Structures are given as structure tokens and as C-alpha cells.
Amino acid sequence: MKLRQSATGRTRCGELGEDRLLARLLPSLSIRKGVIAGAGDDCAVVEKPRGNNLLLLKTDCVVEKIHFGTKADPVSVG
């Protein structure tokens, strides 16, 4: 697929898509001490600075009418 260029000559995120965006971003992230599993599609696992617990760091896009209905309870969506 040929990507269009924005006014500043850069590829637009929406045209790139999630998988291709991640393929471009993730290789540049460094893995530091305490990182069990680095950033990936949805989650990273890191050791907490204190204690024996792990932190799961997750973020993902949720889109109305795709992942939840227009009348969905915000607490349930979150």
C-alpha cells in the first residue's frame, strides 16, 4: 500500500495502521533493568522498584461502535 504524505512530509498515523506503527516504534525502545517483557502489541511487564510484585503496563485503543456501543456505561468500557 502506498502511503500518502502529510503537509509536513510525514506519514499519517491513521494511514499506517497499528501493526505497522508498532513495527516502526518498538525497535527504537531500549530495554532497561527490571523489564521482564518489553513493549509489544498490548502489554509490557516490569518489576516494581520495591517489593516482589510485577507491573503489567497496558494500553490499547477503544473505539465507539467498534469495541463498545454508543450507550455503553463508561465504567464498563474502562
Residues 21 and 37 in one domain: no
Residues 37 and 63 in one domain: yes
Residues 7 and 24 in one domain: yes
For the chain, what is the mean pLDDT? 77
Which stretch of DSSP H or E encloses residue 49? Answer: none
For position 6, what pLDDT does the model report? 55
Residue 39 and residue 29 in contact, taking contact as beta carbons nearer than 8 Å: yes
Q: What is the mean pLDDT of residues 41-59?
A: 80
Nearest alpha carbon to residue 54 among 62, 46, 63: 46
Residues 39 and 17 in one domain: no
Residues 53 and 38 in one domain: yes
- Domain residues for 39? 32-77
Number of domains forming the structure of the chain: 2
pTM of the predicted model, to two decimals? 0.45
